[in-house]
Amino acid sequence: MAAAAGKKRLTVLYGSQTGTAQEVAERIGREGRRRHISARVLALDDYNVADLIKEDLVVFVCATTGQGDEPDNMKKFWRFIMRRNLPAHSLQQLSFSVLGLGDSSYPKFNFIAKKLNKRLLQLGASVLQPVGLADDQHDLGPDAVVDPWLKELWEKVFAVYPIPPGLEIISADERPPARYKIIYTDSPAEESSLEFGLPASQQAPFFATLISNDRVTASNHWQDVRLVKLDISGSGISYSPGDVVMVQPSNLSDTAEEFMSFLHLDPDKNFTLQQTNPDIPVPRRLPRPCSIRFLVEHYLDIQGVPRRYFFELLSHFTPSELEKEKLQDFASAEGQEDLYSYCYRQKRSTLEVLQDFPQASANLPFEYLLDLIPAIQPRAFSIASAQKAHPDEIEILMAVVKYQTKISKPRRGLCSTWLSSLPSRSRVPVWVKRGTISLPLDHTVPLLMIGPGTGVAPFRSFIEERLVPVHEGSKCVLFFGSRNKNADFFFENQWKELSETGCLSVFTAFSRDQDDKIYVQHRIREQSSLIWDLINNHRAICYLAGNSKRMPIDVKEALIEVFCKGEMSESEAEALFAELERTRRYQAETWS
């Protein structure tokens, strides 16, 4: 049945960790408005969950992070919607659709979207469109699923909200209004809009003082890895082993200057933003008034790879038919392979794309920058210290991301490059969130830790918590892998000292120190008797941290072999591994 006249409202709620789910949610909002539907787009934790009982039509766009975890900006919503005491038919008036954004290289692919879809059905809601499961690993990225899913969604929405007689879908060729109105002002710019005196969070980070960011790999080693030490004295921040520190980075000054120079922006000009759509609030992170320099240095992700809507919107500003045709091709469903080759495979930045389309850039109004370019997202780092051992510090083991593509200029990781470039005494905005791995309360439970490369970071926090000073009866076993003993053996001296207590055993795999490459999975197989004894007879907890690509699969296969050597059949070994995962006796924290 069609909705009553005058009640054409769609609510789009998203849970986003890196910004991709937010971008898709905003796309749905834009497409809804082109269809004459009032569309409100909000992060799930910015939405009053009690209002769900009043909604008719909601689209949820949810990412899955870590090992099947919900994004930070939907944690409050998640806790509420999963409460067991919610009435079974409390959402029977709600029609909904769930679109998941995930990565099939992770074991719990799109876990949050699947679980949310199931939970909403349990609460009596009805599905408008079956759950969509987009995959970052697809050659064309998430859009390979998002595009056809949205096409079907709008067909079903029209059955509920038919377009009023005499109206048509607003053409994508028509330039949309800017999200905000810019009001220039002579009033002095504020330095920050952040709130102080509150518990550290994304809205109110604590500005930690940088103590040092020393390189811990050899000067001739291929990778620059830093041990970053941050002073959190007076912050009130407390953290547990396995927790994660969030860092809000800024653009490098030279990149920001190049961007402002190219677009002929006056960095000292001040402005305020005025809301033009009641459903689109002004960003809380921007001070009022704000300088153009602050906007470009601290807010706009000009070093990020632009997403598809960037090209669609930019096409409206070029007088060049050649540029317009190319931009519209990149924005089309048919042009996604070309866009991938041009932009995503090369990791071409927003600034570089603007430079490739000079006529569009020359005609780009300043007020559209906030529509074109998303905000810089915070980065997560495993904490590599125990607060017990370092009461006023947070330490990070961080690889500085730098790599080459076909573009002559090397690609640089925004946060790692920025953080490694800071001099001591610099201020770094941080807050802490709970990690996906955690220590057992019983300190006599043995810890079996597998952490190649910078994956060893959280296990340093575990070991310091257990062994500085030593807990009687504690047993820690660490498997560590890297390329060379003399180049990237992180925390070698600390491990040597703690090993002398008899409570820590370290097994190393240096892949390039001999002709045959040796990795942690080889050492696991070699120590099968020890591992089987710890898991089978001493109820050890097994932890894994590191790169999410091939390593977790290789480690799982090695552990299955260990279980088989413990006189299990292969099916029994697989069942044991699944049971360890279910009971959190196997915990993993991986990243791509």
> What per-residue confidence (pLDDT) applies to 198?
66
249-252 long-range Cβ contacts below 8 angstroms, 24+ apart: 249/376, 249/378, 249/379, 249/414, 249/415, 249/418, 249/419, 250/297, 250/298, 250/376, 250/418, 251/296, 251/297, 251/298, 251/300, 251/302, 251/303, 251/376, 251/414, 251/418, 252/303, 252/417, 252/418, 252/421
**415 and 534 share a domain?**
no
Enter the tokens of residue 262.
């190219």
> Quick one: which of 296, 300, 458 has its CA closest to 380?
458
Residues making up the binding site for FMN: 16-21, 63-66, 101-110, 136
pLDDT band at 4 (very low <50, low <70, confident <90, very high): very low
Domain range holding 41? Answer: 10-160
Yes or no: say if 74 and 15 are a contact pair by the CB < 8 Å rule: yes
List residues bridging with 45 in a β-sheet.
Answer: none
* Residue 196: predicted pLDDT: 53
Range in 62-66, 261-265, 289-293 with the lowest mean pLDDT: 62-66
Annotated binding site: 16-21, 63-66, 101-110, 136, 379-382, 413-416, 454, 511-512, 517-521, 554, 591
- Closest by Cα among 260, 225, 257, 232 to 247: 232
Q: Is residue 149 part of a domain?
A: yes
Q: Are residues 29 and 127 in the same domain?
A: yes
Helix (H) or strand (E) holding 184: strand 180-185
Q: Which residue has the higher pLDDT, 530 or 411?
A: 530
What pLDDT, on the 0 to 100 scale, is given for residue 353?
A: 97
Which residues, 6 or more positions from 197, have their beta carbon under 8 angstroms from its beta carbon? Answer: none
**Buried (b) or exposed (e) across 466-481, using 16+ Cβ within 10 A?**
bbeeeeeebbbbbbbb
Q: How does strand 244-247 pair with strand 427-433?
A: antiparallel
- Residue 174 inside a domain? The answer is no
- Looking up residue 424, the CATH number of its domain turns out to be 2.40.30.10
What is the rounded average pLDDT for all residues in the chain? 92
Angle between helices 20-34 and 143-160 (to 10 degrees): 40
Are 366 and 393 in a shared domain? no
Q: Per DSSP, what are the bridge partners of residue 214? A: 227
Looking at residue 163, what is its pLDDT?
Answer: 84
pLDDT digits 0-9 by tens, 40-50: 999 998 899 99
Give the pLDDT of residue 192.
66
Q: What share of the chain is helix, strand, coil (3-state, %, to 5)?
A: 35, 20, 40
What are the structure tokens assigned to 340, written together?
Answer: 């991938």
Domain match, 493 and 356 both: no
| 8 Å CB contact between 212 and 229 | yes
| N-term to C-term CA, the chain | 45
Task: Write out pLDDT tens, residues 115-149.
Answer: 999 999 999 999 999 999 999 888 778 888 999 99
Q: Which residues fall in the annotated binding site for FAD?
A: 379-382, 413-416, 591
The CATH number for 144's domain is: 3.40.50.360
Here the CATH number for the domain that contains residue 570 is: 3.40.50.80
Q: Are residues 393 and 244 in the same domain?
A: yes
Kindly state whether residue 194 falls inside one of the protein's structural domains: no
Please give the DSSP secondary-structure letter assigned to residue 221: S
Residue ranges for the binding site for NADP(+)? Answer: 454, 511-512, 517-521, 554
Same domain? 566 vs 457: yes
Predicted pLDDT of residue 410: 86
Q: Are residues 144 and 19 in the same domain?
A: yes
Segment 544-592, tens digit of pLDDT? 999 877 899 999 999 999 999 988 999 999 999 999 999 999 999 888 7
Q: What is the CATH number of the domain that holds 325?
A: 1.20.990.10
Structural domain includes residue 404? yes
Position 190 in a domain: no
The residue among 98, 126, 160 that closes a domain is 160
- Please give the average per-residue pLDDT across 340-344, as a whole number: 90
Over residues 219-228, the pLDDT tens digits come to 999 999 999 9
Q: What is the pLDDT of residues 272-288, one digit of tens each?
A: 999 888 778 888 889 99
Distance CA 255, CA 253 (A): 5
Which one has a higher pLDDT value, 453 or 69? 453
Place 193 in a pLDDT band, splitting at 50, 70 and 90.
low
φ, ψ at 564 (rounded to 5°): -65, -35
What confidence tens digit (pLDDT) does each residue in 491-518 have?
A: 999 999 999 989 999 999 999 999 999 9
Is residue 496 packed enough to be buried (19+ CB in 10 Å), middle (13-18) or exposed (0-12)?
exposed
More confident residue, 88 or 263: 263
Rg (CA), the chain: 26
How many domains is the chain partitioned into structurally?
4
Residue pair 301/18 in contact by the 8 Å Cβ criterion: no
Token pair belonging to 137: 């690993």
260 and 229 in a common domain:
no
In sequence order, the 6+-apart residues with CB closer than 8 A to the CB of 568 are 576
User: Is 120 within the bounds of a domain?
Assistant: yes
Measuring CA to CA, which residue among 287, 331, 334, 284 is closest to residue 308?
Answer: 331
Instruction: Give the C-alpha separation, 510 to 481, whole Å.
Output: 6
Report pLDDT for 194.
Answer: 57
Distance, C-alpha 434 to centroid of its chain: 14
Please name the helix (run of DSSP H) or strand (run of DSSP E) that holds residue 220, with its range, or none: none
Residue-wise pLDDT for 87-109, tens only, equals 988 999 999 999 999 988 777 89
- pLDDT of residue 195 exceeding 60: no
Determine the pLDDT at residue 7.
57
Residue 402 CA to residue 226 CA, distance in Å, equals 13
Which of 322, 346, 372 corresponds to the end of one domain? 372
Nearest Cα to 572, choosing from 582, 586, 562, 585? 562
Q: What is the pLDDT of residue 407?
A: 82
- Same domain, yes or no, for 566 and 451? yes
* 585 and 532 belong to one structural domain: yes
Query: Does residue 356 sit in the same domain as residue 485?
Result: no
The per-residue pLDDT for 229 is 98
In this structure, which amino acid lies at residue 338?
A: D
pLDDT per position as a tens digit, 280-334: 888 888 999 999 999 999 999 999 999 889 999 999 999 999 999 999 999 988 8
Residue 166 lies in a domain: no
3 pLDDT above the threshold of 50: no
> If you write DSSP's letter for every residue of 356-388 in order, what string do you get?
HSHHHHHT--GGGHHHHSPBPPPEEEEB-S-TT
User: Could you tell me how many helices (H) and strands (E) the chain has, helices first?
Assistant: 21, 21
User: Of the candidates 337, 355, 372, which is a domain's last residue?
Assistant: 372
In a domain, 181, yes or no: no
> What does the pLDDT look like over 386-407, one tens digit per residue?
999 999 999 999 999 988 887 8
Strand segments (E) across 440-540 = 447-450, 476-482, 504-510
Looking at the fold, whether 394 and 416 belong to one and the same domain comes out as yes
Sheet containing strand 290-291, edge to edge, reads: 180-185, 270-275, 290-291
